[in-house]
Chain A
Amino acid sequence: MMIEKAILAVITLDQSKVSGGAPIFICETKEELEKVAANIEAITDGIVHGLSDELFIVVKH
C-alpha cells in the first residue's frame, strides 16, 4: 500500500503531549512555535495543521 500522507514533524509547546516517530520540535513561546512551523512548512512543502493552540503538525499531502 502506498502511504499518501505523512506527518513530517510535530511542533509543540507541551512536550508531555507528544511522543513517537516523527521529529518533534519543542518551542518556548507561541511566536517561536509559529516561526518554526512556518519554516518547516516552507522547507518541506508540507502544510501546517493545527491540532490545538499549542500543537502543530506538518503533513505532506
Chain B
Amino acid sequence: MSEFTYPILFGILIGTILRIAMLRTDYRQYPTYLHGKTIHVSLGFIAAALGSLVIPALLSKEYTAVTILTVAATQFREVRNMERNTLNEVDSYELVSRGKTYIEGIAISFESRNYLVIITSFIVTFVYVFTNIIFAIVATIICFILSKILMSGSVMKEIVDIEYKDLHFDGAGLYVDNIYIMNIGLPERQKEIKKYGMGFVLTPKDMNTITTVSNLGQRQAILHDVSIALGVFRDSGTPALTPLIKRDLDDGRLGVFVLPQVRDVDKAIEIIGQVPVLESAIRMPSESKSHNKEVPSNDD
C-alpha cells in the first residue's frame, strides 16, 4: 500500500456517492430504474477514479498520466450522445413528446454531472493528500453543497405568473382567455375538450423571459411535464386532442391548453411552476450592449 491508497479510495468513494446523490428519479421519470441507473453509477465511478488519480500521479512525477483526463472528456461527451440518442428514439412513442430542446437539456446535465464528480474527487483527494481526513470531509461537504447549487437551474414560476383561465369556443375556434389555440370542427370534440381540457395563461415577468418562454422547446417541455405528472386525455389517432401552447403576439403571454386526467387546478399550476427553464431556451436581451445603450443626451 502506498501513501496514496487511502486518499484515492476516499476520492473514488466520495465521487461515486455524489453521482448517486445527483441521480434522482423524480416526476420527469428519467432515468428510470435499475438499468439506466447502473449505467450512470458505473460512469460516475469511472469519473471519480479519474479525478482521484490526478494528484497522486502528479506527486509521483508521472506528469504524462494527466493526459488521461483528455480521454475522460471524450468519454463523457459520449455520455451526452448516448443520452441524446436514447431519448430521441423513445420520444416518438410518447403521447406528448419531450421535444428536442428538453432532451438536449437532459443530455447536457448528464455530461456536466460527470465533470462535477471528477472535480469533487480531485479536490477531495487533493485536500486529503496535503492535510488529513478531517479536512477532506469538510471539503466533501463544501463540494456537495456547491454541486447542489450548480445543478439546480431556475424553474418556470420564477419567470412567469401562472393563472387558470377557462377554455371557450368562438365558433370553431378554441380560445384560452383571448389567445387562439386551434380550430375544432366537430361539436362532439368541442364537448370533450370543454369537459376535459384546462387552460392556463402564463404572463412573463420581464423582457428577458418573454423571449425565453416563447421558445418552442420550452413550451413543449411544459406540455410534456404536465402530461407526465397529471396524465393526458388522448390516444394515438386523436390529433384533435393535442395539448398546445400558443402565444399572444401582442404581449408575449402564453395560452396553455392541456388535457390532464387529474383535473386539479392547484396541482397543475404547481407543476407548470416546477418545469425547469431549459438552458438552451434562455435568452438575455437585456445583457446586450446595444439594447442597453443610453440615448445620448443633448445637454452639452
Choice from A45, A49, A56, A61 contacting B237 with Cβ under 8 Å? A45
Choice from A42, A45, A56, A61 contacting B185 with Cβ under 8 Å? A56
Inside 8 A of A42's CB, which chain B residues have their CB? 237
Q: Which candidate, B22-30, B89-97, B186-194, is the interface stretch facing chain A? A: B186-194
Decide: A47 and B184 in contact? CB cutoff 8 A: yes
Closest to B241 in A: A47
Inside 8 A of A47's CB, which chain B residues have their CB? 182, 184-185, 239-240
**Bound: A48/B240 CA distance, A:** 8
Nearest chain A CB to B96's CB is how many angstroms away?
Answer: 15
Decide: A41 and B240 in contact? CB cutoff 8 A: yes
Closest to B188 in A: A38
Decide: A49 and B187 in contact? CB cutoff 8 A: no
**Interface residues in A22-61 (C-beta closer than 8 Å to B):** 34, 37-38, 41-42, 45-51, 56-57, 61
Decide: B186 and A38 in contact? CB cutoff 8 A: yes
Decide: A48 and B239 in contact? CB cutoff 8 A: no
Nearest chain B CB to A44's CB is how many angstroms away?
Answer: 9
**B296 part of interface (Cβ distance < 8 Å):** no
Q: How many residues of B contact A (CB 8 A)?
A: 15
Closest to A49 in B: B183
Decide: B237 and A48 in contact? CB cutoff 8 A: no
Nearest chain A CB to B194's CB is how many angstroms away?
Answer: 15
**B36 part of interface (Cβ distance < 8 Å):** no
Decide: A49 and B239 in contact? CB cutoff 8 A: no
Nearest chain B CB to A9's CB is how many angstroms away?
Answer: 12
Inside 8 A of A46's CB, which chain B residues have their CB? 239
**B171 part of interface (Cβ distance < 8 Å):** yes
Nearest chain A CB to B128's CB is how many angstroms away?
Answer: 59
Inside 8 A of B239's CB, which chain A residues have their CB? 45-47, 61
Nearest chain B CB to A27's CB is how many angstroms away?
Answer: 13
Nearest chain B CB to A59's CB is how many angstroms away?
Answer: 9
**Bound: A34/B188 CA distance, A:** 8
Closest to B171 in A: A50
Decide: A37 and B237 in contact? CB cutoff 8 A: no
Choice from A45, A48, A57, A61 contacting B189 with Cβ under 8 Å? A48
Known contacts A41-B240, A42-B237; is A48 also within 8 Å of B187 by CB?
no
**B71 part of interface (Cβ distance < 8 Å):** no
Q: Which residues of B contact A (CB under 8 A)?
A: 171-172, 182-189, 236-240
Q: Which residues of A contact B (CB under 8 A)?
A: 34, 37-38, 41-42, 45-51, 56-57, 61
| Inter-chain pairs besides A47-B185, A47-B240, A51-B172, 7 sampled, C-beta below 8 Å | A34-B186, A38-B188, A45-B239, A48-B184, A48-B185, A50-B185, A50-B186
